[in-house]
């Protein structure tokens, strides 16, 4: 269920998103940022995680550029986070594929992220709530072409999401 769908270029986007996030974030919130910096299109999560870690964000954050949570370590990483925070309410953040018209949209959803779905991977669902940034379109073959995604675009999306979270706490 979508709680918000807003394009990152919209005026006051961070404030709009932060109002919704204020109702989601509480003392049990744990932020899990998914992705890898080895592919520009998939670096959204680790960029957001790093920005939050380098700020005065109040909630625990996992998944940064230095310690990413990605397909190769997601099972162990999620298990470890759940052990450390047994009462945690998880807010997952990831890049996502969508229609061409939805590129640049930031969505807040009630429910988990399905990491890797857009590239045909079956990985565990993550999150009670989720934030996704749509970074590219799904092509005819359901494969993600990371070569077409600009770092400046992913960075802007990440900055918007990080600012939204900071304003919400």
What are the pLDDT digits (tens) for 36-81? 999 999 999 999 999 999 998 999 999 999 999 999 999 999 999 9
* pLDDT class of 25 with cuts at 50, 70, 90: very high
Average pLDDT over residues 21-35: 97
Higher pLDDT, 114 or 16: 16
pLDDT at position 138, please? 79
DSSP-derived secondary structure for the chain: -EEEEEETTSTTHHHHHHHHHHTT--TTEEEEEB--TTSGGG-HHHHHHHHHHTTT--S-EE--SSS-B-TTTHHHHHHHHHHH-TT-EEEEEEEEEE-GGGTTEEEEEES-B-TTGGGT-----B-SEEEEEEEEE--TTS---GGG--HHHHHHHHHHHHHHHHHH-
Does domain 2-168 match CATH 3.30.470.20? no
pLDDT at position 103, please? 95
Mean residue pLDDT of the chain comes to: 92
Give the global pTM. 0.93
What are the pLDDT digits (tens) for 98-115? 889 999 999 999 999 987
pLDDT at position 28, please? 97
pLDDT at position 121, please? 75
* pLDDT class of 124 with cuts at 50, 70, 90: confident
Average pLDDT over residues 17-30: 97
């Amino acid at each position: 269920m979508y709680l918000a769908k807003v394009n990152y270029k919209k005026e006051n986007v961070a404030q709009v998103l932060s109002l919704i996030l204020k109702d989601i974030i509480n003392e049990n919130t744990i932020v899990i940022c998914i992705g890898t910096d080895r592919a520009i299109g998939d670096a959204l999560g680790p960029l957001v995680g790093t920005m939050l870690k380098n700020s005065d964000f109040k909630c625990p954050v996992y998944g940064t550029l230095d310690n990413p949570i990605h397909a190769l370590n997601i099972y162990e990483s999620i298990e470890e986070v759940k052990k450390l925070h047994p009462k945690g309410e998880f807010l997952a953040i990831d890049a996502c594929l969508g229609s061409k018209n939805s590129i640049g949209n930031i969505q807040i959803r009630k429910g988990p992220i399905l990491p890797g779905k857009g590239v045909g991977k079956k990985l565990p669902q993550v999150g009670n709530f989720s934030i996704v940034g749509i970074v590219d379109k799904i092509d005819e073959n359901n494969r993600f072409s990371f070569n077409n995604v600009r770092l400046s675009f992913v960075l802007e999306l990440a900055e918007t999401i990080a600012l939204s979270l900071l304003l919400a706490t």
